[in-house]
Amino acid sequence: MSPDVLVCGAGVGGLAAARALGDLGLDVLVVDKQPKVRPIAKGEVLQPGALRLLRSWGVEKRLDAQGAVRLGRLVVRDPRGTALMSLDYGQLPAPDQWLLAHDHTAILAALAESLGPGVELRRGVRAEAPLRDDSGRITGLRLAEGGRVYEQRAPLVVAADGISSRLRSWAGIEAKRADYPHRLVSFDIGEADAAARADDFSAYVTDRGLRLLYPLPGGRLRLYLQAGPDELRGVTAHGGLADWAARALSQVPALEPLTASLLAHLDSRQTLPVGRLLSPRLSGRGLALVGEAAYAVHPMAAQGMNTAITSAGALAERLSGHLERTGEMSAAAVDAALRDYHERQLPLLTQAARTSGNAARMVTDLSWRGRILGRRAVRHTGANPRLLHTVTHNMSGLGPRPLTPLDRLQQLGLLPDPRAHRVPTAPAGRPQPM
C-alpha cells in the first residue's frame, strides 16, 4: 500500500517531519540514500524552541538519559576570554532556559527511536525522479533500492534532502546557495584539562576569525577554527596540521590550555564549507521543503537544526487543521495545507536567517568594515540589557521579535538608548538539570 507521506532524507529535518506527521495518524515512509548514518560535526546544539517539540516527543528525555550537556549561556568573548556579549538563557521563561548539546548521531538516533508504528525508515534508497499527475502535481518518487527501481506514490512528498536538494530543483524552486569566504575546521577533543573545559557555548573573536567552543557528553569538547578557503590546502595530519592548529590557539590565550589535548586529537579533524540558503518557496503542489532543503545558515548561531525541527512541527500543524476539516489526504487538502505552511513559515525563516547572518558577520567578517561594525555591534549589544534580552529571545527560537531600525543604530552605538534597562522581569530561578 502507498504511504500517506513520503519523506526523502533522514537527517534531523526529515526525521522530525516523519515524527510530527506520524503523530497525526498518517503512514509515513522515510528514505535516505546513505546506507548508514555518517558522523558529522554539525547540528549538535539545540535551542529552546526546538526543545519544546523534542520534549513533547520524548526525545529530550532520551538525550538527557544519554548524557546530554545543558548550557545556560551563549557568549561572545575576546581572545583572553572576557565576555563581550553574553546571552543568558536563564532570563527566559521556564522551562525554556537551556541549550542542549549532544552528538549529531545521538540526536538522529533519538529521533529515529521515537518514530511511531506508522513510520517506516529505509536506508540506502535513492530518489531518481519525481512522479507527477496529468496536471504536473508531484505525486511520489521513482526510487532505486538494492538494484531495483520502483515507483512510490504518496499524497504528500517532503523534501529533506539537504542544501543541494534535487527535489527542490525538480519542483522548479530556484534557491541560490551563498558561500561564506571561509571554512570551519572542526575537532572533537577528549581528555581536556579540567581548567580548559567549556561550560557554555563560547565564540571567541580574533583577528584571524572565529574560534568556537562548547562541551559534548563524556567530558569532550567541540572546537571550530575559522580558516581561509585555501588556508589548509595540502595540509594533512602528518604535514603541518599540528603547527597550524597550535598557532590558531596561540592567538587566543583563553584557549591555549587546550593545545596539548587538541594536538592529541588531530585525527578528528573535519573541514566544512559554510554556506547560507533561504528558499523563496517552501512548498509546491504535493511537495514541502524542510531542513536544509529550505534553509541553511552559519553554525555560529546554532539555528539550522532548530529551524528544521520547528518547521517540521509547523508543517504537521498546518496539515492537521486541513485534515480535520476534510477528513482525507486529498490533493486539494494537502496543497491547501502546503500553501498555509509556506505563508506562515517563510517569514519566520527569513527573520531567523537575518538573525543568524548578523551574528555570523559580527565574529567572522575579517574585512576592515566588518571588523569595525561587527566589534561595535558586539560591544554595544553586550552593554544593553534590553537588546541582549531581545537577541536571546530571537536566538532561542521562541518567536521573532525583530529589531527596529532604531535598535540597529543603538546596537552600533550611534544613538543612545534610554530604554536600555527595560527588560522583562527575570524568572525566580532556573530549573536544575535532569
Q: Which residues pair with 213 in a beta bridge?
A: 202, 223
Q: Which residues pair with 83 in a beta bridge?
A: 77
| Residue 124: pLDDT band with limits 50, 70, 90 | very high
CA 91/CA 232 separation, integer angstroms? 41
pLDDT of residue 273: 87
Q: Which residues pair with 201 in a beta bridge?
A: 74
| Residue 433: pLDDT band with limits 50, 70, 90 | very low
Assigned architecture for domain 179-275: 2-Layer Sandwich (3.30)
CA 345/CA 343 separation, integer angstroms? 6
Cα–Cα–Cα angle for 325, 311, 167, rounded to 5 degrees: 95
8 A C-beta contact, residue 392 and residue 89: yes
pLDDT of residue 232: 82
Which cell numbers hold the place of 74?
Answer: 551563549
Q: What is the 3-state secondary structure (H, E, C) of 54-98?
A: HHHHCHHHHHHHCCCEEECEEEEECCCCCEEEEEEHHHCCCCCCC
Please state, as a whole number, how many other Cβ atoms lie within 10 Å of the Cβ of residue 272: 14
User: Radius of gyration (Cα) for the chain, nearest Å?
Assistant: 22
- The closest alpha carbon to 158, from 41, 12, 42, 49, belongs to 12
| Residue 229: pLDDT band with limits 50, 70, 90 | confident
| H helix or E strand, kind and range, residue 224 | strand 220-227
| H helix or E strand, kind and range, residue 211 | strand 209-216
pLDDT of residue 381: 93
* Mean pLDDT, range 312-318, rounded to an integer: 97
| Residue 323: pLDDT band with limits 50, 70, 90 | very high
Cα dihedral 418, 420, 423, 426, rounded to 10, equals -140
* Mean pLDDT, range 385-399, rounded to an integer: 91
CA 204/CA 211 separation, integer angstroms? 5
Find where cell 527569513 sits. 350
Assigned architecture for domain 5-67+102-175+279-357: 3-Layer(bba) Sandwich (3.50)
Mean pLDDT over the full length of the chain: 92
| Residue 361: pLDDT band with limits 50, 70, 90 | confident
| 352 CB burial (10 A radius; 0-12, 13-18, 19+) | buried
- The closest alpha carbon to 299, from 224, 249, 371, 232, belongs to 224
Please state, as a whole number, how many other Cβ atoms lie within 10 Å of the Cβ of residue 247: 10
Phi, psi of 83, rounded to the nearest 5 degrees:
-70, 125
pTM of the entire structure?
0.93
Query: Is residue 432's pLDDT more than 50?
Result: no
Query: Is residue 303's pLDDT more than 80?
Result: yes
Locate the domains of the chain by residue range.
5-67+102-175+279-357, 179-275, 367-427
Query: Is residue 216's pLDDT more than 70?
Result: yes
32-76 per-position pLDDT tens digit: 999 999 888 888 999 999 999 999 999 999 999 999 999 999 999
5-39 per-position pLDDT tens digit: 999 999 999 999 999 999 999 999 999 999 999 88
Which pairs count as long-range contacts for 333-337, CB under 8 Å and 24+ apart, including other chains? 334/155, 334/156, 334/286, 335/137, 335/285, 335/286
